[in-house]
Amino acid sequence: MFADITDEHELDTGERREGIIFSARSFASKASASFGLIFGGVLLDYIEFPKGAVMGTVPEDTVWQLGFIAGPATSVFTFFGMFLYLRYRISRKRHEEITRALAQLNR
C-alpha cells in the first residue's frame, strides 16, 4: 500500500520520496502505540483498578469496566481506522495506470 502511494506521489510530483513516506508510517505506528499505553494507563486510573491486585480480589464492577474498555470501547479506534482505509483510492486498475506512466517517464 505504501509503495503504491509512493509511486503515485512520484507520478504527481516527479520526485520519489519513499524515505519520507515510510518514516512517517513508522512514526505513526510508534506514536499510536505510545498513545495507547498512555491512554490505557489513564483509563486504569479512571476505573480505579487496584495496583498489585491478586486474582479474585478485584471488585466485580471494576472487572466489568475493564472488560468494557478492552472490548467495545476500543472498537471506536478500529472503526476510525476502517474509515481511513475506505478513503484509499488506488485500485488495481489505477495502480496499473501509475506503473505504465512511470515506465514511460523513466525511459
pLDDT in tens, the chain (107 residues): 999 999 999 999 999 999 999 999 999 999 999 999 999 999 999 999 999 999 999 999 999 999 999 999 889 989 998 999 999 999 999 999 999 999 999 88
pTM: 0.72
Could you write out the DSSP letters of every residue in 27-86? HHHHHHHHHHHHHHHHHHHHTTPPTTPPTT-S-HHHHHHHHHHHTGGGHHHHHHHHHHHH
Domains of the chain, by residue range, sit at 2-105
